[in-house]
Structure 1
């Protein structure tokens, strides 16, 4: 199969590599239909994050189940699934307590597992092996509708949602999001969906601020003046309840 392989900083190659196989009863193999490019890929590409030559890039993936291990109970061949960027077993104490990023089983010698790092190949490839698939693959509606929307569930939408969750935000309150990249915009949209009374989005890129306005948020251009002062003025001196 073809895959995007890391050679060294500023050098990647599309190569023919071996198709992944079922290595454990809890594995599935997915035929990849969509794989995003993340800022973390760029960190590795530009040498800011340690990466070993030969790894396959890609940790925001979705596709169709092609093979199913004998221990998988929730998925079957032909299912459409999306996978998160981090990997957990779903069984250890950390996973059971909701701290799956610190899974003690998936990556021996290091707490937590990450697709395209450690023992796990990435999904900028034609096929991807997913360990502990019942825990790490989210079943989607069949068909091809909303492909570009569902792939956001691999990383940036839940990351934005989780950021709002960590802030302590409650419905009816106001919130300010600093930075209107993809995650920031989806954090703002998450706040809208969760019933925020006002959402302020701070950035200086006109296209990002325009997108925030489309999402019923109030854009704040920090290149014009101090963003906090702008928000205070709009609110008549009352500070936003939460900042993200």
Structure 2
């Protein structure tokens, strides 16, 4: 089969690889009908996430048709399913608490020491996202093996709902929703969202749905800021305004009630701290560029809430821990417990309460995946979201 594979920094390829096979009784094999390039995939593309190996199949946002099942799978051949990016057993301590992204059993034993050494505990199992998270083949492929298929996939019974409307249930929609939920939004709140990529834009939409009175979206790409305004957000372009000063002016000197960091470890901008972080990263003296979360903590009002769905990977310095403590801020973060949100968000999509397709800018053939990575990396203003379609003729198609 064809699949998008990682071979090093800025080197992804469309290779011919072995077809997946049933390994465990709860497995299923999915023929992928739609898959997407996620913003967090760019961290792999830029070489920031450790324990990737040459030839690893990428992709954690995908859906498709069930073509084969193990004897203990609850799925049936022919069913159309969306697959969460988190791999979860459904029965361990964390899964019993619906903390699916903290599953104890999804990451194979021979990979668990990697996370334990770096983070204190084994990492969860994720599709297509390094051997630290299980080394699972991802979904940017014609076929994919889905472990614990009786727990994760959501069956889409309504054939009239196109892939585009439900594909993002695999990751970015529930991630944006959980980001807003972790911000503990109350009616009348002012919520600031750093980063208007796909997760940030879903967080903007979710914040309004949860009762925020004002949402202030922060970015520097005009197209993304325009999309945020579509939902009623006020916007700050950090290349044109000083963010902290703008937020203080917009909130009467108090600061936002809640803030959501959707930027992560590759913050942009010619800021002194960011330049220092960039130098450290380029000389292997550091990993993450954390300008966004520094700014979030300093700008959020005293007693406010900070939600951090953004991906960070390593150890950082100049973290404003004193401000976090002295201001009495609450910080919530973590990978998304996707399975917790699938049914209610699917219902919201079916009832047209959530716009789930607005950010798709381009569709490409699977074989054009390497070009898609390059475009998504280099032209983020115009390439807001790329959907790859196995079987489609080569050539990018604007949405």
- TM-score, with structure 1 as normaliser: 0.91
State the alpha-carbon separation in 2 of the partners of residues 90 and 136 from structure 1. 8
Residue of structure 2 equivalent to 1:223: 239
- TM-score, with structure 2 as normaliser: 0.57
Give per-residue Cα distances to partners, 1:174-223, cap 9 Å, x unaligned.
Answer: 21111111111111111112222111111222111111111111112233
C-alpha contact 1:80 1:142 (8 A) present in aligned 2: no
Q: Secondary structure at the match of 1:9?
A: coil
Deviating above 6 A after TM superposition, structure 1's stretches of 4 or more consecutive aligned residues are: none
C-alpha contact 2:62 2:170 (8 A) present in aligned 1: yes
Residue of structure 2 equivalent to 1:41: 41
Give per-residue Cα distances to partners, 1:99-132, cap 9 Å, x unaligned.
Answer: 2222111113323111113341111111111111
Residue of structure 2 equivalent to 1:70: 71
State the alpha-carbon separation in 2 of the partners of residues 134 and 77 from structure 1. 13
Structure 1 alignment gaps of length 5 or more: none
Call closer, same or farther: CA 1:148–1:55 in 2, change over 3 Å: same
Q: CA deviation at 1:238?
A: 4.9
Residue of structure 2 equivalent to 1:5: 5
Corresponding position: 1:120 with 2:136: yes
Call closer, same or farther: CA 1:176–1:138 in 2, change over 3 Å: same
Call closer, same or farther: CA 1:15–1:234 in 2, change over 3 Å: closer
**Which structure: greater helix fraction?**
2
State the alpha-carbon separation in 2 of the partners of residues 34 and 238 from structure 1. 44
Residue of structure 2 equivalent to 1:83: 83
Q: Secondary structure at the match of 2:226?
A: helix
Residue of structure 2 equivalent to 1:52: 53
Q: CA deviation at 1:152?
A: 1.3
Q: CA deviation at 1:237?
A: 4.5
Q: Which deviates more, 38-47 or 199-208?
A: 38-47
Residue of structure 2 equivalent to 1:160: 176
Q: Which deviates more, 103-112 or 233-242?
A: 233-242
State the alpha-carbon separation in 1 of the partners of residues 186 and 71 from structure 2. 43
Q: CA deviation at 1:39?
A: 2.9
State the alpha-carbon separation in 2 of the partners of residues 167 and 15 from structure 1. 41
**Which structure: greater strand fraction?**
1
Q: Secondary structure at the match of 1:135?
A: coil
Give per-residue Cα distances to partners, 1:36-67, cap 9 Å, x unaligned.
Answer: 11233332233222311121111111111111
State the alpha-carbon separation in 2 of the partners of residues 147 and 132 from structure 1. 22
C-alpha contact 1:82 1:153 (8 A) present in aligned 2: yes
State the alpha-carbon separation in 2 of the partners of residues 28 and 213 from structure 1. 41
State the alpha-carbon separation in 2 of the partners of residues 45 and 231 from structure 1. 33
